Structure 1
């Protein structure tokens, strides 16, 4: 992951609240992801999961751990403060012994470490350009067993091409107490600090070009989409 970490360092304290406002259905998306992974891997088996961009809530870990008591996690994030927030949530849930934390990028982990599944949630649209997006997906593929599932979730689509969705986003922040100036500032950050894949087809192409196959969308909320895909054999 090559996105600048500074904006996430500053957002660590508010991320848990703001992410749930920005993404309507935040918890539902994570719950469905956990259910899909459990259905694919089997709840009773021992498995190793790579959680890329784990900083902030560590919701991927907290939710899947409720279903699968034998899964262990490697959590990686380039932002130290964000990873500290995730570490605190993991500790509060009593899951410390099941999680290894690494400040850095997926590419920094040994390629020989083969994982049984991976997640990349809320990351891809922060990476500039197709090459950076393809690089992190390829890095994940290189660390997964053949046939292992990847949960990929993030914004997709050209923001300006969906003015109604942008307006609905604004209203959602107002619904949660933001005034007009705050809404304008939040939209400004989104429009200038993120570069999502242009379409669902672009996401599918990125996955196919990075070592994944059989991608299926399982969740959508305004600009947000979530997929499960398999590491190609």
Structure 2
């Protein structure tokens, strides 16, 4: 499955149910976004100006909504390749009164000008949808090349191979059952998650991908079954020998 095919998974039907379904699939969905905003604000300081690249902003644009509460002068560039998901994000940003602070780009990070430099970036719920190691590396490299030296990246998503953690997978199914899913529906959802995503094999694998893209070792700050969130700073040009 290509990156384009991964984006096409988020068709109008899936986009429409994204917010509700995500809050079941990820226990602590809102807390993860709120803590991500807190980590960015703690790193950058919420009082000054900053320009944040939000990769995979489609859906509820929760990264933007949460960060705006702490940082009234921050601007955002939201990137997503799925039109249905982006339309939901645009509507939510407008509803929150944040449209004047947000630029939207329907497409990919690679489409942005190569000389753009952002103060920070977020990549939440995206990396495990990239098929294979090379696609993951390309995405992280594209983000890194558009960050200022020392700029933080918030990376959040599934970070274990599903088959390697059968207890977590079973608990994930129980999470759905707790929300009223039948046994048949749980089996269908487990089958879908096993076929529909390709997470890094471990936290060490995440750290290696980040290092390859020019980031410092990550600081992990949130965990929920397979899901984890971390912050990593882009290594300065001098440190990279560029």
**2:234 is matched with which residue?**
231
8 Å CA contact 1:77–1:105 kept in 2: the answer is: yes
8 Å CA contact 1:3–1:128 kept in 2: the answer is: no
The residue correspondences of 1:39-50 to structure 2 (distance < 5 A) are 39-50=42-53
Name the CA distance, whole Å, in 1 between partners of 2:64 and 2:198.
26
8 Å CA contact 2:52–2:119 kept in 1: the answer is: yes
SS at match of 2:69: helix
Deviation at 1:184, TM superposition (A): 1.4
Name the CA distance, whole Å, in 1 between partners of 2:184 and 2:93.
35
State whether structure 2 residue 224 is matched by structure 1 residue 221.
yes
**1:2 is matched with which residue?**
3
State whether structure 2 residue 174 is matched by structure 1 residue 143.
no
TM-score, reference length from structure 1: 0.98
Name the CA distance, whole Å, in 2 between partners of 1:147 and 1:214.
12
8 Å CA contact 2:207–2:217 kept in 1: the answer is: no
Out of 165, 168, 173, the position equivalent to 2:168 is 165
8 Å CA contact 1:3–1:127 kept in 2: the answer is: no
Structure 2 residues not aligned, in runs of 5+: 237-242
State whether structure 2 residue 121 is matched by structure 1 residue 118.
yes
TM-score, reference length from structure 2: 0.94
**2:94 is matched with which residue?**
91
SS at match of 2:57: coil
State whether structure 2 residue 203 is matched by structure 1 residue 200.
yes
**2:75 is matched with which residue?**
72
Name the CA distance, whole Å, in 2 between partners of 1:190 and 1:3.
18
Deviation at 1:214, TM superposition (A): 3.2
Name the CA distance, whole Å, in 2 between partners of 1:194 and 1:82.
18
Name the CA distance, whole Å, in 2 between partners of 1:30 and 1:175.
23
Deviation at 1:3, TM superposition (A): 4.5
Give the number of aligned pairs.
Answer: 233
SS at match of 1:107: helix
Name the CA distance, whole Å, in 2 between partners of 1:211 and 1:175.
41
SS at match of 2:16: coil
Deviation at 1:127, TM superposition (A): 0.6
Name the CA distance, whole Å, in 2 between partners of 1:7 and 1:181.
22
Moved over 6 A (4+): none
Q: Deviations over 1:43-101 (max 9, x none)?
A: 11110000000001100000000000000000000100000011111111111101111
Name the CA distance, whole Å, in 2 between partners of 1:40 and 1:147.
10
8 Å CA contact 2:158–2:200 kept in 1: the answer is: yes
